[in-house]
Amino acid sequence: MLVGHAGWSLPWTDEWWQPLQKEAGNDCKELQWDVLSMDFKIEHTWDGLPICHEPVWIGLRPGDGGLMMEVKAPFFNDPSAPPGEAGKPFEGLWHYEVVEAFFLNDRTKQYLEVELCPHGQHLVILLSGRRHSWKQELPLAFEVSRSETTWEGKALLPWNYFPPGVEKFNLYAIHGSKAGRTYEALYPIPQDEIQKGQEPDFHRLEYFKSFSLNMIFGKDWKQPESDLWMSQKSIAKEEIVLLTNGVSSDLTERRRKRKVC
């Protein structure tokens, strides 16, 4: 994981920062909180094996009213394009070629999932509890350009989509078909924790790593409140009533059918 600062490439870990702070004093503190971007490369499969192609690159930047997510990635064109309009949400996008970002409040288990496809489709899902989606197919400003072998995308993630108190995250990428289907993760499950017959699961929240939006927006920046997430409490109460009465909501049924991503 890399943090970019004024031409530097800095590993964003306590092990790296603390010795530098001790040596440089106050100057290093200014360096730490003046970072305006974070750059990442996905270099492993979901189970910790090294990938065999150029890595997917994801950049996070300040955006107008949200977080700008940028992608530069190999274009496999496998599977082929989803049968949906470019620039629009597409249910089931995880069955195609995608790059995904998850932003988590680890205490409440509320999280935002964003899926971006090189063909222009996208999918935004809000979840409260592991796999417990309560809102999806939200609109997204997303631009894509492609060549024969690479693609680039840029999406503005509005603050209204982020749960309060984001403190962890993970990034993923998927491509390929049938036996060649490949699942990749920024923070994979350690190989010594993989069970026989285990399948990829991007909702293993316990493997997400620490993440602070303040590293992008500054030490004193406060995450804006979200009307969407404030409304989630009443939606959750309605779903509890439905389940108590033996009635499953559409979102609950879709969760049961959904796998992996």
User: Exposure pattern of 40-52 as b/e (b: 16+ CB <10 Å)?
Assistant: bbbebbbbeeebe
Does residue 77 sit in the same domain as residue 30?
no
Does residue 89 sit in the same domain as residue 200?
yes
Does residue 17 sit in the same domain as residue 48?
no
Per-residue pLDDT for 83 more than 90? Answer: yes
Supply the pLDDT for residue 244. Answer: 56
Does residue 14 sit in the same domain as residue 88?
no
What does pTM read for this prediction? 0.82
Per residue in 18-27, pLDDT tens?
443 444 444 3
Does residue 67 sit in the same domain as residue 136?
yes
Does residue 85 sit in the same domain as residue 202?
yes
Does residue 130 sit in the same domain as residue 142?
yes
Query: For the chain, how many structural domains are there in total?
Result: 2
CATH, residue 192: 2.60.40.1190
Separation in Å, CA 254 to CA 63, 159, 229: 32, 26, 20
Does residue 155 sit in the same domain as residue 104?
yes
**Full residue range of the structural domain in which residue 29 is found:** 1-35
Does residue 110 sit in the same domain as residue 178?
yes
Does residue 100 sit in the same domain as residue 20?
no
Per residue in 89-115, pLDDT tens?
999 999 999 999 999 999 999 999 999
Over its C-alpha atoms, the chain yields an Rg (Å, rounded) of: 19
Of 36-50, 106-120, 234-248, the least confident? 234-248
Does residue 189 sit in the same domain as residue 248?
yes
